[in-house]
Structure 1
């Protein structure tokens, strides 16, 4: 049962074909994928906005409806993990390195480089910068992850279905079709998105660690050092995935959440504390009051604003959708025994609040430096912007070292979660896939990342994710319809029994 299935070989062949393309002709891949991505962002922007807000509203409906009491599992099933460990693992898988990258870079970009609506550097632009950062990393993103995770958990633990995306569509298309070519296409798409996405992230993470080491210690910011960082991380995340969710992944996630909170508290204390509190409160109010306006904003009559929306909001929505198979399957795997209401509260609201706090502390600390003219954070590279901010505050060196450690563990927890999920998808949805399959996927991901780093094809691979997101968005709609049909039928059956 733990042997690799056809999905493994098909997904591997497609992933390697794209990577070889990126290695042999990176410009060609980049140009092709950029042009197609541009068309998707421009022509399907309305579709992404509508589907994401629809998913969010569906999640809110489920949370407060009679279905909220439904348990993911049998009546006597208890949660496998404590709430703190569960939250730490789902947060580490869902955000990871990206949160450390963008908490300083995104608010600075919106305020001083390219503002959503206002003139760069003005008070209005600074307010908008944090509000849109909240918007992009808040409840919309987590709703995309939550719905996929919830549906997968229900079909796995309540219906005994394999832990596969295709299995959730059986009520609509029948078991025969979902076990045939159509089901394989759906699962290969999920594996492909995960492999390419994680490979790009591994390259991205190793670049930030290498850049941070160079910034702090003067080590060479070279391909050799980046590959060394990648190799060490590979050994660690394969060991973590090999140890299993109950050991390696859980322990690393708990440790990392503790270190991340420590870093957050240190910067909050030594940074502009009152400014952070004031901006957090004001931005939270603006986020709530402008929630629906931002959710539907496309600026069809303003080409410049529409370009900004395509480059940020639509890009993010597509990015979250493309990561939904990986994060959703992992969250489903660790959520047995929880009710639908508890699941949605834990996956929707708490991670969003944590993201808001991180953006307020790191983002406002960066904005404050730029406003006062203390440091030109907007002129720093993405890899070093966070370190540039920390260097201007007391305990800067210690916080920078702590940041590298947090990035490294986020790096490992995202990769080991992905490796575990790929193992599940490659063994017909087994909850505990064989070590040989997990190790194989770990080595494949790192090899792809190394090729991407060497040949500079990261942007092309990221574009491939956006392209893969469009068909998967349609799959998500079908998953939602299938799930709702099934829980309604279950509710009717329970009423008949009573």
Structure 2
């Protein structure tokens, strides 16, 4: 009986498209890589402006929704309290949306901007240093979290207000595509989302595993080779498989809470025992620089380069467009997860909470960890840029942490935090993938279904790591996620159409918190339709 809950066309279709992409990459790695990279260049160079505009528009759309009458709609029953307290809720959404990638980029991203700054600025100059400490905060800031939040709107609305026991992207598009939701079009939307998520998860895996291996190597003296990375992946898989099997309340919540406390300890230690004044002043300066230039940074496309004497740097495509594409690939997953954990909150609380808590967490990581590394570089205590260029980012990251007091202890905390970050992202991913391939999710997805996707998420990228094709899968997922640009706009329209129609049909339009009883709304609409039909018959 339980297997009847599985949406087998979506389940099988997602596996087929993943195999259809990965098997040719295994058999023809060089040709496959060339094709995928060419496709990525075509998408980012020709449609980069679309990515930038979509990110910009979605951010202001969500601010509008939060403060509109639609934002006062409660996700749940009238007297229902939030399912999770604010700390656990913020911890789960942050850990699901960020993963170990923030430990990677939060520590080292500034070094790339330091060498190749935006706007044609001279590398290593005072102005380049200011932008180096600021651009990472921008890329992981409000627009990124707005992209993450948007899919949560229609999915949370349909799940908790209209009581649809389905967590699918296609279901959230139903007000626009109607019956097509139940056919091939709906299946294709869900399958594209699942493929993008599995490839995007590979990006997190590719960044996290070598960094964790380097941390273990520094603590134990063992070489950070492929064998160690494989063992780390097996460990992470075991952790998130157990967590996914345990469920949302016991597994994912506990891991996320632990993760957040470890992160607070690490950041507080670096802030207190590192260059406290420099970190505080530089982070504050970065906030001001971003606020002053937010519109410019959000829409910068290098329009006059490659014309006359101007050379194109490729900065917008290589960084901002790529990041917006990466957030888009992950957005349906994070949105689904945020929707699932937001029962009892209003639309406004969910939107503002996700954007504010997510952006604040990213600001702390980049402001504290990034500026600590920048301080080491500027004072000459440690040449981060030279180590990065010659020995790679994972080695440079652990070397930066090694400059702190009680370095072995802090490297241990950093490594454990990276493992749990990786695990929380993957157990959240497996939970949502399992939800998408079920035709009904009353409470939680079936356990065997969650475990299946937990191991699928790890095994496929693991195979590609051995053949050196993981970066190609990551790039393929970004290209494959291109249709999500248009699906995101559909989701925004779908939410506004459904919620506004329901509000108009409801008697409760102006209270501070609006509780929509969808059964009563349907009854009222049916009575209105009958009265209209009776009136038409009388007139005829």
- Fold shared per TM-score above 0.5: yes
Contact 2:94 2:357 in 1 (8 A): no
Equivalent residue number for residue 171 of structure 1: 175
State which structure, 1 or 2, has the greater radius of gyration over its C-alpha atoms.
Answer: 2
The aligned counterpart of 2:365 is 358
- 1:409-424 correspondence to structure 2 within 5 Å: 409-424=420-435
Is 1:146 matched with 2:149? yes
Could you tell me which of 311, 319, 328 is aligned with 1:312? Answer: 319
Counterpart of 1:77 in 2: which secondary structure? coil
Give 1:385 shift. 2.4
* 1:366 CA displacement: 0.6
- Consecutive unaligned residues of structure 2, counting only runs of 5 or more, are 511-540
What residue number does 2:123 align with?
120
Give, in whole Å, the separation in 2 of the partners of 1:429 and 1:362. Answer: 43
Q: Within the alignment, does 1:377 sit opposite 2:380 as a pair?
A: no
The CA deviation string for residues 296-327 of structure 1, in whole angstroms up to 9 with x for no partner, is 11111124555111000000000000111111
**Residue 115 to residue 476, structure 1, CA distance change in 2 (3 Å):** closer
Q: Which runs of structure 2 are paired with 1:421-460 in the superposition (5 Å)?
A: 421-430=432-441, 431-460=443-472
Q: How does 1:73-472 map to 2 (within 5 A)?
A: 73-161=76-164, 162-174=166-178, 176-303=179-306, 304=311, 307-378=314-385, 379-380=387-388, 381-430=392-441, 431-472=443-484
Distance in 1 between the 2:342 and 2:55 partners? 23
Once the two structures are superposed, what CA deviation does each residue of 1:54-110 show, in whole Å capped at 9, x if it has no partner? 100010001112222111123233221111111100000001111001012111110
Which deviates the most, 26-35 or 7-16?
26-35
SS in 2 for 1:242: helix
User: What is the rounded CA distance, in whole Å, between the counterparts of 2:163 and 2:184 in structure 1?
Assistant: 22
Taking the aligned partners of 2:404 and 2:225, their CA distance within structure 1 comes to 28
Aligned positions of 1:54-65 closer than 5 A: 54-65=57-68
Alpha carbons 2:152, 2:339 under 8 Å: kept: yes
CA distance in 2, matches of 1:475, 1:196: 18
Q: Give the match for residue 7 of structure 1.
A: 10
Deviations 1:175-218 (A, max 9, x none): x2100110000000111111222234224322221122223332
SS at match of 2:444: coil
Q: Paired residue for 2:50? A: 47
1:113 to partner: Cα distance: 4.6
Question: How many Å apart are 1:22 and its aligned residue?
Answer: 2.2
The aligned length equals: 497
Q: Which residue of 2 aligns with 1:484?
A: 496
Please name the residue that 2:535 is paired with.
none
Tell me how large the CA RMSD over aligned residues is: 1.6
User: Does the C-alpha gap of structure 1 residues 357 and 497 become closer, same or farther in structure 2, counting only changes over 3 Å?
Assistant: closer
Instruction: Indicate the SS of the match to 1:44.
Output: helix
Conserved in 2, the CA contact under 8 Å of 1:142 and 1:351?
A: yes
Give how far 1:433 is off.
0.9
Helix, strand or coil at the partner of 1:338: coil
Q: Which runs of 4+ in 1 moved over 4 A?
A: 113-116, 303-306, 495-498
CA distance in 2, matches of 1:21, 1:400: 39
Whole-angstrom distance in 2 between the partners of 1:479 and 1:259: 35
Segment of structure 1 superposing worse, 473-482 or 21-30:
21-30
* Partners of 2:343 and 2:208 in 1: CA distance: 31
